[in-house]
Structure 1
Amino acid sequence: MTTSALDVLRALRAHTTAAGLPGPAALVGDWWGADAVIAPSVQLRPGFAPPDDPDRFWIGYLGFPVRADESRMPPAVGGLTGAILTLRDGRWEYEDVDGAPCPAWIVEALDTQESTSETGWSADWEAPRREPHEDAIAQCLDAIRAGEVYQACVCTRFTGTVSGDPLEFYASITANTMPAKSAYLHGDWGTVASFSPETFLRRTGNLISSSPIKGTVGADADPDTLSSSAKDVAENVMIVDLVRNDLGRVAVTGTVRVPELLSVVRAPGVWHLVSRVEAILDPAVGTNELLRATFPPASVTGTPKIRAAELLGSWETDPRGVYCGAVGMTGPGRGLDLNVAIRTVAITPDGMAALGVGGGITIDSDPALEWQECLDKAASIVGVHGSADN
């Protein structure tokens, strides 16, 4: 019987805490060609962005670079490790860049067949005010009519507190919703619990891909309405064009293509329209050059990207922080796998939590429906109740 990723994460955390080691970090879902990637022990430090061509594995996050708010969370966090665990086809594998064997304490964690959790959690959420968000949408619509942007992703945020164990908060919601690209990062600076459905960038060798999400209806709606919605289709296609442009800045000429367009995919609490853009990179293109060409993710800014980002900073009432940035890993051979940090909760060391939500605004947007979309996206997180008493 294979020990689940969440129970392995719990067992590793128990050992590292007892041994005084840095704790684990986890990517659970569709990551690195596997079903989970866990760094058994990694020191995650504020300000440590991905190295350009690392000989080890980097795990961390990059925050949204508009109106940074360092009072809540660092704008970037990361750490290097020489060893990771991957879960593929129901089997755990240990990979060490130096070829070292798997330590006994990690083997023990992989053999754990029951939860080591001894603590519970609870969360108390407060919804954002509707009026400021609808006012921001109105300003966006004015900018679209004026020709400044064609589309922009306008966001707001839930705030609250998470009491108890942040790892159990992450594990409970991950087990309940099974998001495509979840992530758990923790350190003295706070906790990031990401439940993202979206791939920002995935690089294997010189093949790069991005799978932007644009177009959403609630889980109880007919998913066929997405494909027939002129607004949602236009929203997705415009962002696909922006991703093509971003990747085209660093791709080998003539290699950018769209192998998947407007697929209807289920995610926690909603249905999405998802497309996929691919390109071939010149081998000389490093991680930093790739990120300069593509970050922040197209799907959470707008088009044209630079002007949309400038306007969003003045329309939205709060900085986004980690939300709408990227969480994930890089590794030897310039491998890279990052999500778009949506459905992502940032928790400060004192338990204050933020959950950003938003949606793409086009000329056909209805502010009331856009507000409902925000509630639908948040429901899969704020609607999950805590576990045992703290």
Structure 2
Amino acid sequence: MRIERLGDLGAAPEVLRAVGDAADRCGLPPPAALTGEWFGARAVIAPSVAVEPVHPGAVFDLAEPSAGETPPDAVGGGWIGYLSYPDAGADGAGPRIPEAAGGWTDCVLRQDGGGQWWFESLSGAPMPGWLAEALTTRAPDRGCHIYWEKPNQQAHRAGVLACLEAIRAGEVYQACVCTRFTGTVTGAPLDFFADAVARTGPARAAYVAGDWGAVASLSPELFLRRRGEVVSSSPIKGTLPLDALPSALRASTKDVAENIMIVDLVRNDLGRVAINGTVTVPELLAVRPAPGVWHLVSTVSARVPQQLGMAELLDATFPPASVTGTPKHRARQLLSDWEPHRRGTYCGTVGLASPVAGCELNVAIRTVEFDAAGGAVLGVGGGITADSDVDAEWQECLHKAAPVVADQSRERSTAS
């Protein structure tokens, strides 16, 4: 494995732009990127990776971890991609982009916690010349605008009311009911992602692209982190706008109940594959900031057998608990009736599986899905409990979407 210190190259969005511009000039596949709090780093950028459609059962699975000695902070490379939320909506329409896509990268640019950049190669190959040149060249300033249409408030209201009725009937205790914005894009999705990351700084942002389109995830939420036998998940449930007092979130009976129900669901999911007696909750009901909102965050940890494959781990835990409901199977069935459209990559996961650093996956919320025809979709939603207020749930959706659509000044005005 090769590791080279590159020094201070600047912020991740600008490095990503420069690499993306150079890859495009050279006729190479575009970069992929993880920014925020991935693998103990501020950013991990795959300089050029062919992200191709794959079978949903083949994502994030490596034959076996590397047995060689590597520095503890190294990432090196690996398989980077996404897996969509698996269920259809009430309209029965198929996926807008491939259900799963990804590709292998032998090398990455990693920005450590101190802001220093490193070039890392799993095979030991040196940095290619086009990349070295890109890191000394500023990318041209370009804009990407999405002309958003407002989501259908009445359809969301009907879904929330149906969920409340199902809770009263005892079919579910909680479920995450979602809506979506749709838009038309002018410009490059990579520029949208870079602008949004620079503006909002989400903890689990991720970007992948190909001929099929792109996924720009501005997520704050960790779905799974795996290093050897240790697996953890940090579900988010409970939200207030940033202008509210954070103490009000911790004092909210509805939000606390919502979070604890999802923690129990994550414990159950991990317990299906964990070594007996190893599922713990090291963090419960922490209040943390995210773009535009406060969130309640908890962490569940477990040990799993070393030989357990990612396919088996995902089979037990996916889709993420925080975007489904309790009980999970029935909630998913009902959500497919309540929500008019397929969620797609929204509420799925994006991440990287590295043979030296393990696997980290986000929950693909605050995520824009770009198709190859210039269309964009942004999903938003929230957990419904017996104490939910229909109008407050709609406002929560708007609060969550606001940081993503904030700079798109020429939003279309259409009927809700």
Shared topology, TM-score over 0.5? yes
Q: Indicate the larger mover: 191-200 or 48-57.
A: 48-57
Please give the alpha-carbon distance, in whole angstroms, between the structure 2 residues aligned to 1:362 and 1:36. 36
Aligned with residue 102 of structure 1, among 115, 118, 127 = 127
Residue of structure 1 in register with 2:359 after alignment = 336
Aligned with residue 31 of structure 1, among 4, 29, 38 = 38
Aligned with residue 232 of structure 1, among 255, 266, 269 = 255
Do structure 1's residue 380 and structure 2's residue 403 form an aligned pair?
yes
Q: Could you say if the C-alpha distance between residues 80 and 133 of structure 1 is closer, same or farther in structure 2, counting changes exceeding 3 Å?
A: same
Please give the alpha-carbon distance, in whole angstroms, between the structure 1 residues aligned to 2:315 and 2:300. 18
Please give the alpha-carbon distance, in whole angstroms, between the structure 2 residues aligned to 1:247 and 1:308. 18
Please give the alpha-carbon distance, in whole angstroms, between the structure 2 residues aligned to 1:222 and 1:246. 33
SS in structure 1 of the partner of residue 175 of structure 2: strand
Q: How does 1:1-390 map to 2 (within 5 A)?
A: 1-47=8-54, 49-54=58-63, 57-67=78-88, 69-88=93-112, 89-112=114-137, 115-332=138-355, 335-385=358-408
Identity %: 57
Q: Is the 8 A contact 1:120 1:386 kept in 2?
A: no
Q: Indicate the larger mover: 103-112 or 16-25.
A: 103-112
Amino acid in the other structure paired with 1:50: V
Amino acid in the other structure paired with 2:28: L
Please give the alpha-carbon distance, in whole angstroms, between the structure 1 residues aligned to 2:287 and 2:142. 38
Amino acid in the other structure paired with 2:102: G
CA deviations over 1:297-346 (Å, ceiling 9, x no partner): 00000011111111100110111000000011112158111100000001
Please give the alpha-carbon distance, in whole angstroms, between the structure 2 residues aligned to 1:51 and 1:184. 16
Q: Is the 8 A contact 2:61 2:353 kept in 1?
A: no
CA deviations over 1:55-106 (Å, ceiling 9, x no partner): 7611111000001754511111111111112111222122212122222332
Q: Is the 8 A contact 1:169 1:386 kept in 2?
A: no
Please give the alpha-carbon distance, in whole angstroms, between the structure 1 residues aligned to 2:82 and 2:131. 25
The alignment's C-alpha RMSD in Å is 1.7
Please give the alpha-carbon distance, in whole angstroms, between the structure 2 residues aligned to 1:323 and 1:28. 18
Please give the alpha-carbon distance, in whole angstroms, between the structure 2 residues aligned to 1:54 and 1:34. 25
Amino acid in the other structure paired with 1:102: M
SS in structure 2 of the partner of residue 353 of structure 1: strand
Q: Is the 8 A contact 1:92 1:110 kept in 2?
A: no
Q: Could you say if the C-alpha distance between residues 45 and 60 of structure 1 is closer, same or farther in structure 2, counting changes exceeding 3 Å?
A: same
How many pairs were matched up? 385
Deviation at 1:117, TM superposition (A): 2.6
